[in-house]
Chain A
Amino acid sequence: MTILKVAKLVKRFGGLTAVDGVDFAFPKGKISAVIGPNGAGKTTFFNVITGIYKPDEGEIELDGKSIVNVKPHLITSRGIARTFQNIRLFGSMTVLENVMVGMHIHLKTGLFGTLLRLPRNRAEEKRSQEEAYRLLEYVGLESLLNEQANSLSYGAQRRLEIARALATRPKVLLLDEPAAGMNPRETVDLIGLIKRIRQELEITIILIEHDMRLVMELSDHILVLDYGTKIAEGIPEEIRTNPRVIEAYLGKSAAQQGVIS
């Protein structure tokens, strides 16, 4: 079953076509990976899905409903959350507060509720703190709840971004290079975390990643982009041996030899 579908998606910047007619159906409850060489348009693809860029052509459907021209913050409340390639945390806020910001769309207290602080507003605030804390436990950052976000290590910042994205209670979670800058141990932990998110929380995961070990181990489906176009799709085994993919990554000569390591 498909949860997110893109059809003939096009995004241009001036003369450059960053995403060029991509079609893909992301299956529900699975982990899909978007891979491709640098500059293949992967992050732009994410930015178009999350509404930060408007597509020039094409269709994006979440659960059968179009999300083209929906504002970014409303796409979040439709159920798509994301992390960023170049980490974008709320640096001077605490770790817990970062996650609480992620809960924004689920909190009902308005301006006057805040000022009057009625029992139900107070209860909501308390509950949101508790849920944020629970999410920090989930990603293993609970001991750092009062630290300033920008004081965390690189790997911890990446996990905090995931916790923050989970706080929006997404149906689809987009992870943009979640393992970038992580050491091998952190990467192993990350793989475990992503698997747990898929299994326990039943969230569909789409990730961009350069670490092929991680991609091959995690993903059920892979979409390969090069120069903005889809050059291949399929299960990891197919992609591993697909000559066009190997060519895109390593050039023609490697393609004749066979396999991505």
Chain B
Amino acid sequence: MNFMDKWKTKLQHLPTQASIYTLFVVVTALSVYFLDKSVVAFLLLLGSLLLLYFTSFKNSVKWAVGGILLFIVIPFATSGGLAHESYMEVATQCGIYIAMALGLNIVVGFAGLLDLGFVAFFAIGAYTYAIFATPQANNFISGQLFPLSGSSFWLFILIGGFVAALFGVLLGLPVLRVKGDYLAIVTLGFGEIIRIIFNNMEKPINITNGAMGLSSIQPPNLFGLKFTFPHQFYFIVVGILVIVIFTVRRLEHSKMGRSWKAIRENEIAAQSMGIPLIRTKLTAFAVGASFSGMMGVVFAAKQTFIDPTSFTLLESITILVMVILGGMGSVPGVILGAALVTILNLQVLTELTNWLNQLTMNGTISIPNALSPSKMQRFIFGAILVCIAIFRPNGLIVAKNRKVDAEQLKAERSHTPVPVGQSTGQSGGVAK
């Protein structure tokens, strides 16, 4: 951060910023395009989005540039080499996790409710699509109507989000009555219950096919175009992600967002301000869950196979790590956290493992199998959680409050003749 700050002061001049930024994007994009498989170049290209956040362009410009990067530059730059699909796979996974982390951020970051079973909603979304996009649903709905065709996928994104939100409310109704840190334990329990249920629901009626999972899930289909490759899913994910980010941003600075934060800061005071506790917490649960549910549908369609092992406690904790690392309540922070953790998981750890294996095979060094970085996830996540809690509890990018320009408020006030206070005719408005 400090480094970024210094950088920013040197580069206050906008045109300079713009040219350096363009140069950066062009260089990284070209290197990704021409180098056969350069993880570093690819990460730098993704990093250009982070850089964009720290530039001092206007917000609308940032959104536009971000859109161009996401929809044109990144897909095009990665299409040069053999690694195209693997790059796109990483980017797609990043998008899925970012959306989930943003969902969990509403629950943990905004509303201050520690949910340790968040992956359950992802699972619900995934199973919602998987059950109906495979012959599985024939087991309990007669008429051999299933699998539904891939063109139903688009509708299922909404259904998945809705069903997950519904479960969020159903789970929340009992769970949210539990206070404080007990909530963590209870959500943890619920996460496990959902997994156990999915794992065993092959009887009495075979709904989830139990531990065998569901395979040959129909790929999405848009006017005859089948989506099967990561570079195709990439666009679906980015599309949903843009909507998610947009939603979160709007909610954050609204009546709802303020209510969530008020509950997080002080439940009793929030209640004394007329905020209904349970209902407000339920909304946080439902909105957060719906993001996860939508991405669950995409995940099921992308993998074409799902089973309960994809939805373990480790996954819930992974998403939590993303939120904590990035900064609870901070949207840009959480996006960064999710991207970092996903890339760490998919790229850095695997690459490191391969590299070390290579070295071991060449006989240069001897690394025991136990130390293989890809096995060290829990260690790394644990270390991140402890370190962040002790040294940087607000995460990498600290949540910022929106500042309001007092002068502008005063200026606009003269144009609005009737303040809210008087318009409702209630006593007690500020008469001035």
Contact = CB atoms under 8 A, between A and B. Distances in A.
B136 interface: no
Contacts of A249: none
Nearest to B287: A111
A172 B256 CA distance: 26
Interface string B387-414: 0000000000001011110100110110
Contacts of B416: 126-127, 130
Interface stretch (B53-61, B114-122, B138-146, B418-426): B418-426
Given A125-B254, A130-B409, A138-B430, A90 B274 contact: no
Contact of B421 (A91, A100, A114, A131): A131
A201 B277 CA distance: 29
A90 B428 contact: no
Contacts of A103: 420
B283 interface: yes
B419 A130 contact: yes
A81 B272 contact: yes
Interface stretch (B263-271, B293-301, B316-324, B333-341): B263-271
A23 interface: no
Q: Which 9 pairs between the two chains have the least Cβ-Cβ distance?
A: A76-B274, A105-B274, A88-B269, A90-B265, A169-B428, A114-B254, A146-B403, A101-B262, A88-B266
B431 interface: yes
A93 B262 contact: yes
A76 B272 contact: yes
Contacts of B256: 111, 114
Interface string A83-120: 01000111111101100111111110101001101000
A129 interface: yes
A52 interface: yes
Contacts of B404: 94, 96, 129, 133, 145-146
Contacts of A201: 427-431
Contacts of B409: 129-130, 133
Contacts of A50: 272
A60 interface: no
Contacts of A135: 430
A195 interface: no
A203 B262 contact: no
Nearest to B423: A127
B429 A72 contact: no
A106 B274 CA distance: 10
B255 interface: yes
Contacts of B421: 131, 134, 169
Given A133-B409, A165-B272, 16 more contacts: A73-B271, A89-B266, A91-B266, A93-B401, A94-B403, A104-B275, A126-B416, A127-B416, A130-B409, A131-B430, A133-B413, A134-B430, A146-B406, A164-B273, A169-B429, A201-B427
Interface residues of A, number: 63
B177 interface: no
A200 interface: yes
B292 interface: no
A169 B254 contact: no
A82 interface: yes
Given A107-B255, A169-B429, A203-B427, A72 B265 contact: no
26 contacts: A72-B272, A73-B271, A73-B272, A93-B401, A94-B401, A104-B255, A106-B420, A106-B424, A114-B251, A114-B254, A125-B254, A126-B412, A130-B412, A130-B413, A131-B429, A133-B413, A143-B406, A145-B404, A146-B403, A146-B406, A167-B273, A169-B424, A169-B429, A200-B431, A202-B428, A203-B428
Contacts of B419: 127, 130-131, 134
A253 to B, nearest CB: 40
Nearest to A169: B428
A160 to B, nearest CB: 11
Contacts of A90: 261-262, 265-266, 269-270
Interface of A: 50, 52, 71-74, 76-77, 79, 81-82, 84, 88-94, 96-97, 100-107, 109, 111, 114-115, 117, 124-131, 133-135, 138, 142-143, 145-146, 148, 164-171, 200-203
A100 B410 CA distance: 16
A124 B429 CA distance: 16
A139 to B, nearest CB: 10
A157 B403 CA distance: 19
A203 B421 CA distance: 14
A93 B265 contact: yes
B289 to A, nearest CB: 14
B291 to A, nearest CB: 13
A131 B262 CA distance: 19
Contact of A148 (B271, B274, B283, B401): B401
A134 B406 CA distance: 11
B432 A84 contact: no
Contacts of B93: none
A227 B406 CA distance: 48
A168 B273 contact: yes
Contacts of B277: 73
Nearest to A123: B416
Q: Which of B271, B273, B409, B432 has the most CB of A within 10 A?
A: B273
B16 interface: no
Contacts of A164: 273
B247 interface: yes
B250 interface: yes
Given A73-B274, A77-B274, A111-B283, A169 B427 contact: yes
